[in-house]
Amino acid sequence: MKKILYLVVLAVVFASCEKNITLDLPQGESKVVVDGYVETGLPPYIVLSRSSGYFDPINASTINNLPESGASIFISDGLVTVAMKEIDTTINGTVIRGIYAPLDSATNFPLMFGTPGRTYSITITTKSGEVITSSAKLQLPVALDSTWFQVQENKDSLGFAWAHLTDPDTLENCYRWFAKRITKDEQFIAPFGSAVEDKFINGQSFDFAYNRGKIQNSTADDDNNIEDGFFKKGDTIIVKFCAVDRGTFEFWRDAENQMANNGSPFAVPSNVKSNVKGGLGVFATYSPVYDTIYAK
């Protein structure tokens, strides 16, 4: 009885210590978000949008207002500077704006392509007069020595994509890994941990493996059963191994860490490092090398 009375008194004491706290959270500042890419052999493109507050409502109206249309964008590769044209894209009957590419205003022919070794710079001026800048170097490609499929222990026909890499003997080489399965994936997908640097592997030659990535909130059968994260025998896997600049690596390293830790009460809060001045997001460069793996 004494123990029960003690617990009851303790509960009453703790209950009396409760206090309702109302937090006056500041309104989130709307900033321009840059999602820009330069890839070897392809025309650069930039998607502009607006950030929204964490507690702002999400509906069709707010989503339609996020694209940043009517901006003036110039891109330079160090040799020439050209204007980027806004492209209207229709998806499921809805016109999507805020997409820009260096196209001829009359013919829509690309005026610039990604060339390794060149540094690309952008200057963005929004309708409201905001100025956003960024620059990134398109690195020289680094080829994988070999690639193969290997069944994971006790997994019968399921396994990972493996590769052997000889890292150049220069510091600050950075990479990003993508892969897609022929007839199964519509695009190249980067798994968590796709962005790496050579801080601890500089000049070394080694084997490494990657699991199969998936699109966020995927409803595909093989993304929601025992095959989730695995390649399997019979797959034809196209590997896209990209040399990236430092800014691209740091952005995707931080972004993937935040996505992986989303909702975890033990995660350490951190900001995603951006190479965009005056806004948010990333201006990324990719210099890819492709390999094909026949999973047998």
Domain ranges of the chain: 32-137, 146-266+289-294
Closest to 241 in 3D by CA, of 192, 287, 187: 287
Contact in structure between 253 and 121 (CB atoms under 8 Å): no
Pairing of strands 231-232, 205-210: unpaired
Looking at residue 218, its pLDDT comes to 86
The beta strand positions in the chain, using DSSP E, are 32-39, 45-50, 72-76, 81-91, 94-101, 119-125, 131-137, 146-151, 158-166, 174-181, 195-197, 205-210, 231-232, 236-244, 280-294
C-alpha to C-alpha distance for 44 and 146, rounded to whole angstroms = 29
Looking at residue 268, its pLDDT comes to 67
Looking at residue 220, its pLDDT comes to 86
Looking at residue 68, its pLDDT comes to 94
| Per-residue pLDDT tens listing for the chain (296 residues) | 656 656 555 555 555 556 677 666 666 688 999 999 999 999 999 999 999 877 777 766 666 778 999 999 999 999 999 999 999 777 677 777 899 999 999 999 999 999 999 999 999 999 999 999 999 999 999 999 999 999 999 889 999 999 999 999 999 999 999 999 999 999 999 999 999 999 999 999 999 999 999 998 888 888 889 999 999 999 999 999 999 999 999 999 999 998 888 766 666 667 899 999 999 999 999 999 999 999 99
CA atoms in the 13 A half-sphere facing the CB of 179: 29
Looking at residue 219, its pLDDT comes to 86
Looking at residue 96, its pLDDT comes to 78
Matching residue, tokens 């392809």: 42
Looking at residue 162, its pLDDT comes to 98
CATH class of domain segment(s) 32-137: mainly beta
